[in-house]
C-alpha cells in the first residue's frame, strides 16, 4: 500500500472574510472565477465536477465544462440520453464543484438541474465547430461501442452526409441549468484552519451567510 501521509502543503495565498464578501454567491463566484483566470495559471478555469445519483443508486462524479453562469445559475451541455442525463432526469439534485488548486480555492454548489429552453441549446449548438456538432450526433454517449474504429467510421459517414449543409442540433442533446440552493466557498489557510463560507438560499430570494468550521 502506498503511504501518502507525508504529502502536506501549507495554504497561505489568500483569505476569505465576511467583511469583504458580497451578499450573494454569484458575485463572489464571478470574482473568484476571473481572479483564477487572470492570475491563477489554470488552463480550463471553467472545468467543474458534476456529481449525480445514478439509476443504480451510486453517486458518480465527472468533469465537464461550465459554459455560462448568471443570477439564474450555472449551465453545461450534454447528451440527455447519457448516464448523467438519465440520472438527472431521475433525480435532479446535483452537486457542482470547482477546484482551483493554483489559488488554493474550492467552490461547491448544491442545486437543482433543469433543462434549458430549446432556443438556448440551439444557440449554443450553432456556435460549436462542425466537428463538435457531428461528434454530438455520432456519439450515443455512455453506450458500449465495439471499437474506436466504429466511432471514427461513423463520423466520416456523417461528414460526407452533412458536407456543405447546416448541421442541426439533435433533440437528445442540450443544456442543463443548475439553480443553486447552497454555495460553499473554501479558501485554504495555514495550519488547516481553512476559511469556509456557505451561502444558503432563502424563501425571500436572499442568501443566508454562515462560516463553517474547517
Q: Is residue 192 annotated as part of the catalytic site, yes or no?
A: yes
Residue 114 corresponds to which cell in the numbers above? 433543469
Please report the sign of the dihedral spanned by the C-alpha atoms of residue 64, residue 79, residue 68, residue 92. Answer: negative
What separation, in Å, do the N-terminal and C-terminal C-alpha atoms of the chain show? 28
Question: Nearest-CA neighbor of 159 among 132, 121, 140, 141?
Answer: 132
Grid cell digits, residue 89 = 432526469
Distance CA 35, CA 21 (A): 14
Give Cα 63 distance to the centre of its chain.
7
- Exactly one of 31, 148, 189, 192 is catalytic; which is it? 192
Contact 178, 113 (CB under 8 A): yes
Distance CA(161)–CA(174), nearest Å, equals: 22
What is residue 8's three-state secondary structure?
coil
Distance CA 201, CA 25 (A): 10
What residues are annotated to the active site? 192
Amino acid at each position: 500500500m502506498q503511504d501518502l501521509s507525508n504529502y502536506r502543503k501549507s495554504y497561505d495565498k489568500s483569505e476569505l472574510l465576511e467583511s469583504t464578501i458580497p451578499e450573494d454567491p454569484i458575485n463572489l463566484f464571478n470574482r473568484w472565477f476571473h481572479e483564477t483566470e487572470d492570475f491563477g495559471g489554470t488552463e480550463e478555469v471553467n472545468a467543474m465536477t458534476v456529481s449525480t445519483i445514478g439509476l443504480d443508486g451510486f453517486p458518480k462524479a465527472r468533469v465537464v465544462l461550465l459554459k455560462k453562469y448568471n443570477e439564474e445559475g450555472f449551465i453545461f451541455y450534454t447528451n440527455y440520453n447519457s448516464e448523467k442525463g438519465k440520472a438527472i432526469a431521475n433525480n435532479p439534485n446535483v452537486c457542482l464543484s470547482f477546484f482551483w488548486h493554483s489559488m488554493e480555492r474550492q467552490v461547491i454548489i448544491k442545486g437543482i438541474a433543469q433543462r434549458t429552453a430549446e432556443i438556448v441549446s440551439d444557440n449554443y449548438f450553432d456556435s460549436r465547430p462542425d466537428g463538435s456538432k457531428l461528434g454530438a450526433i455520432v456519439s450515443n454517449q455512455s453506450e458500449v461501442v465495439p471499437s474506436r474504429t466504429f466511432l471514427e467510421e461513423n463520423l466520416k459517414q456523417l461528414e460526407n452526409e452533412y458536407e456543405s449543409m447546416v448541421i442541426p442540433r439533435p433533440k437528445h442533446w442540450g443544456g442543463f441549468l443548475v439553480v443553486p440552493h447552497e454555495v460553499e466557498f473554501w479558501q485554504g489557510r495555514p495550519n488547516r484552519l481553512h476559511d469556509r463560507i456557505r451561502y444558503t438560499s432563502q424563501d425571500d430570494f436572499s442568501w443566508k451567510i454562515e462560516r463553517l468550521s474547517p
